[in-house]
Structure 1
Amino acid sequence: MRLHIKADLNYRFAEPTDVLLAIEAAAQPDQILVEDRLIVTGAGPLSTIPGGSRVGRRTWTRTGTGDFNAHYTATVDVERAPSTVLGLPASPLPAIPSEVVPFLWPSRYCEADRLNSFAHQEFDGLDGGDFVHAAVEWVRQHIRYVAGSSDGTTTAADTFLSRQGVCRDFAHLTAAIVRAHDIPARVVSVYAWRLDPPDFHAVVEVWLDDAWHIVDATGLAPIPGMVRMAVGRDATDVAFMTTFGAAELISQDVKVTRIDS
């Protein structure tokens, strides 16, 4: 499917501040970047760096004092058929590529070590894709999606205890449970067609059968209509905008529209 993406970020800064943006669609084998454009006002020159795990790119800039706007548009052809992880084998640990190994470990927001006992007791006898499928379904059935129920300090363990959260919390908990079972999992920021209300979205990719596969415990948008922006260990690595100073949100708007028949 061909998707048109538009994102507008409007912030206000009390003083000049360094900003790192990660809002550009990544060129990947299953999502072909037809065209895109990033326009920034209220800031200095733009400089790009590669994204983590060689997925996408990030853009540095430095704001002035006052209003800041980042306007991004893209047209992307997504060629990703619906799929399931059921039946896929887990990759033997010694065969996992070096760049994938860090996604086995606990991270700031995905405390896999704290969920180790749960992951093995709750899903006893399951492995590989069958385990991942069961873990995703468990999160979907036991965690309530509640807007505003978490903040920037909420971790997977917090979500496990509170039984509520938003998309990043669903992703953190899913990734932590999967890592606790010695399967690599990374958090992915995406644009998502049919996400309601429209916004940036967070999902998970799991390493099975020597490849990454998208899973989403929220079930809020179809996986074939997702466009990756960034991947990382948790929200720290995939934030759409990181400011190295105080910023005031004025408005934010994200729209993903299908433009083919």
Structure 2
Amino acid sequence: MKREVSAALEVEITGPTTLEFQIAVAPHPGASVSEALSFVLNGAPIPALEISGTHGNRIHKLDVGVGDLKVTYEATITGRTDPAPVTEYDLSMYLRPSRYAEADKFYGFAATEFGSFLESEALLEQVSVWVGARLNYVPGSSDPIDGAVDTLLAGEGVCRDFAHLVVALLRAVNVPARVVSVYAPGLYPMDFHAVAEAYVNGQWRVVDGTLLAPRQSLVRIATGRDAADTAFLDNHKGAIALQSLEVMAIAVGDLPRDSIDQLVSIG
């Protein structure tokens, strides 16, 4: 499999600040990755500090003054990466409630809805189907600070909201689960995408309640407890405005066929 991905952002900066971007793909052991990343402020290239985070997350941090910042990234990924590693720390951390995936508020509810599927591979399919049936995918419908409870009550959201609800429900029935930001060939409308990843039978398996892109084609960017760990842009001081964002992700050749009852790993 060969996949080509890119992102182009324009950010207006009205006060000196520190920005952190997570748009570069995570390391892909076993696959070949070629990439280019640039930051240009008011027409002049500026350097960024790359910080290596958990699970290979790559944070590009830069201090910027007032002006217009243009960010471009492109990568070609050839082949599939090795399965994501599993640690005992992960299996502990990703059972815990987090800011946007409040699993502790779903304990009784999730047990009632999914109790008959516990310890079963069918659990992931059932949670995906349930979330997909309960939520409508509506661009712009949610607030960036909405959590899984807000999403369930609203009955609508975007990909990160679907992922947060999936993660909260799985953690509530003692299945370690986390959020992954990805490039998603086949996604429409094209954007950065968010999915859930659950630990089943010794591996991390991807769950996407939106069913908007084949899971086999996804390219990992960042992994964490929820969107607080995987956001494509964080601002830590001055004021900014995102003026434009363009994301592209294609799979060379035919897109893989996906079936919701299959166990699929991000690769």
Q: TM-score, normalised by structure 1?
A: 0.89
CA distance in 1, matches of 2:63, 2:32: 26
CA distance in 1, matches of 2:170, 2:21: 28
- 2:106 is paired with a residue whose SS is helix
Counterpart of 1:165 in structure 2: which amino acid?
A: G
Q: In the superposition, relative to structure 1, how do residues 99 and 123 fare at CA in structure 2: closer, same or farther (>3 Å)?
A: closer
Matches within 5 A, 1:182-261: 182-244=174-236, 245-260=238-253
CA distance in 2, matches of 1:120, 1:153: 26
How far does residue 260 in structure 1 lie from its aligned partner after superposition? 4.8
CA distance in 2, matches of 1:29, 1:176: 29
Map of 1:11 onto structure 2: 11
Map of 2:109 onto structure 1: 118
How far does residue 78 in structure 1 lie from its aligned partner after superposition? 4.5
Contact 1:12 / 1:248 at 8 angstroms: preserved in 2?
yes
CA distance in 2, matches of 1:105, 1:258: 35
How far does residue 96 in structure 1 lie from its aligned partner after superposition? 6.6
Question: Where do 5+ consecutive residues of structure 2 fail to align?
Answer: 255-267
Map of 2:258 onto structure 1: none
- 1:24 is paired with a residue whose SS is coil
Counterpart of 1:247 in structure 2: which amino acid?
A: I
How far does residue 216 in structure 1 lie from its aligned partner after superposition? 0.5
What's the RMSD between the two structures over aligned residues? 1.9
Counterpart of 1:76 in structure 2: which amino acid?
A: I
CA distance in 1, matches of 2:208, 2:40: 34
Pick which of 129-138 and 156-165 moved more: 129-138
CA distance in 2, matches of 1:235, 1:9: 19
Q: TM-score, normalised by structure 2?
A: 0.87
Runs of 4+ with deviation above 3 angstroms: none
Map of 2:75 onto structure 1: 74
Map of 1:23 onto structure 2: 23
Counterpart of 2:190 in structure 1: which amino acid?
A: P
Matches within 5 A, 1:40-51: 40-42=39-41, 44-51=46-53
Aligned-pair identity (%):
39
Map of 2:89 onto structure 1: 98
Question: Where do 5+ consecutive residues of structure 1 fail to align?
Answer: 81-94
Q: In the superposition, relative to structure 1, how do residues 78 and 187 fare at CA in structure 2: closer, same or farther (>3 Å)?
A: farther
- 2:140 is paired with a residue whose SS is coil
Map of 2:167 onto structure 1: 175
Counterpart of 2:104 in structure 1: which amino acid?
A: D
- 2:160 is paired with a residue whose SS is helix
